[in-house]
């Protein structure tokens, strides 16, 4: 739990951004302890911290002090951090048990791992193209085709609920789940941004399981 200090009346806040800004009102948020506190909180509480460009001071801090951050995470959480050009990811020790982590012991988590694996395969084959920030942008129909392909290959191993689920409902549940873990971002115009975390954690059935299916 990260304790927050507020210098104003939180009843006057209308969104989470007001809460974030109000915590350090009248302080330089890009210096010293304040930035360190914010960066560590983002790493610990977010599925991924993405590089938002050359002016992203938080990501610059992560790259500059990755050794110190690595040491602190090992000591405090017995876990690891992976820092790449466009994203930093907290990798939890599999022997530790936390709520609401990915992957988890749910069918929707297994399906997402399989979709991630398909996306990685499609990138390798040139069927999907990453931008300079490692983001893949597809239409909702394209994403539905990926989900359908995943169902065609793997659904024999899914729970009865998901095997019998209609495509539209399955698509909604998968998008909602992936959005929640920072793997996708939906745009109003119907585009879906597939984020770098998608390629970080993938899953496949073993060959003997696939053959048996």
The answer to whether residue 2 is domain-embedded is no
The answer to whether residue 138 is domain-embedded is yes
Specify the residue for token string 């909702």. Answer: 140
The answer to whether residue 73 is domain-embedded is yes
User: Which burial class, exposed, middle or buried, applies to 111 when counting CB atoms under 10 A from its CB (0-12, 13-18, 19+)?
Assistant: buried
The answer to whether residue 5 is domain-embedded is no
The answer to whether residue 206 is domain-embedded is yes
Does residue 122 share a domain with residue 64? no
- Could you say which of 56, 91, 126 is where a domain stops? 91
Using alpha carbons, select from 197, 190, 189 the residue that is nearest to residue 171: 190
Does residue 135 share a domain with residue 58? no
Does residue 50 share a domain with residue 82? yes
Does residue 122 share a domain with residue 192? yes
Does residue 133 share a domain with residue 77? no
Predicted confidence at residue 135, as pLDDT, reads 95
- Could you say which of 91, 116, 133 is where a domain stops? 91
The answer to whether residue 97 is domain-embedded is no
Predicted confidence at residue 1, as pLDDT, reads 42
Which alpha helices (DSSP H) does 4-159 contain, by range? 16-23, 32-45, 57-64, 66-77, 107-124, 140-154
Which alpha helices (DSSP H) does 107-166 contain, by range? 107-124, 140-154, 160-163
> In tens digits, what is the pLDDT along the chain, a chain of 213 residues?
455 666 667 777 777 666 666 655 555 555 668 888 889 999 988 889 999 888 899 999 999 999 999 999 999 989 999 999 999 999 988 887 777 889 888 999 999 999 999 999 999 999 999 999 999 999 999 999 999 999 999 999 999 999 999 999 999 999 999 999 999 999 877 899 999 999 999 998 887 765 555
The structure tokens listed for 149 are 């392909």
- The span from the CA of 121 to the CA of 132, in Å, is 19
Using alpha carbons, select from 140, 128, 129, 113 the residue that is nearest to residue 197: 113
User: Which burial class, exposed, middle or buried, applies to 170 when counting CB atoms under 10 A from its CB (0-12, 13-18, 19+)?
Assistant: buried
- Give the other-Cβ count within 10 Å of 134's Cβ: 19
Does residue 139 share a domain with residue 82? no
Does residue 56 share a domain with residue 23? yes
Cβ–Cβ < 8 Å for 30, 48:
no
Does residue 112 share a domain with residue 204? yes
Cβ–Cβ < 8 Å for 197, 177:
no
- CATH number for position 151: 1.10.10
* Host domain of residue 68: 10-91
The answer to whether residue 3 is domain-embedded is no
Specify the residue for token string 């698509």. Answer: 171
- The span from the CA of 203 to the CA of 121, in Å, is 11
Does residue 62 share a domain with residue 30? yes
Q: Enumerate residues 6+ apart whose C-beta is below 8 A from 189.
A: none
C-alpha torsion angle, residues 104, 107, 108, 110 (rounded to 10): 70
Does residue 177 share a domain with residue 146? yes
Using alpha carbons, select from 24, 36, 34, 93 the residue that is nearest to residue 62: 36
Q: Count up the domains in the chain and report the number.
A: 2
H or E segment at 170?
A: helix 167-180
The answer to whether residue 52 is domain-embedded is yes
């Amino acid at each position: 739990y990260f304790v927050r200090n507020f210098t104003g009346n939180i009843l006057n806040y209308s969104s989470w951004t007001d809460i974030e800004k109000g915590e350090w009102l009248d302080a330089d948020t890009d210096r010293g302890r304040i930035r360190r506190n914010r960066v560590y909180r983002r790493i610990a509480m977010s599925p991924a911290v993405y590089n938002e460009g050359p002016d992203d001071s938080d990501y610059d801090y992560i790259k500059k002090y990755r050794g110190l951050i690595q040491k602190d995470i090992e000591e405090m959480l017995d876990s690891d951090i992976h820092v790449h050009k466009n994203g930093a990811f907290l990798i939890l020790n599999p022997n530790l048990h936390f709520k609401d982590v990915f992957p988890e012991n749910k069918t929707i988590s297994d399906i997402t791992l399989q979709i991630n694996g398909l996306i990685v395969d499609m990138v390798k084959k040139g069927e999907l193209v990453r931008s300079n920030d490692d983001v893949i942008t597809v239409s909702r129909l394209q994403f539905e085709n990926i989900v359908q392909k995943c169902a065609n290959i793997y659904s024999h191993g899914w729970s009865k609920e998901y095997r019998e689920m209609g495509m539209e409902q399955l698509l909604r549940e998968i998008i909602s789940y992936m959005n929640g873990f920072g793997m996708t971002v939906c745009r109003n115009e119907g585009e879906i941004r597939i984020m770098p975390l998608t390629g970080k954690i993938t899953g496949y059935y073993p060959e003997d399981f696939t053959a048996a299916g």
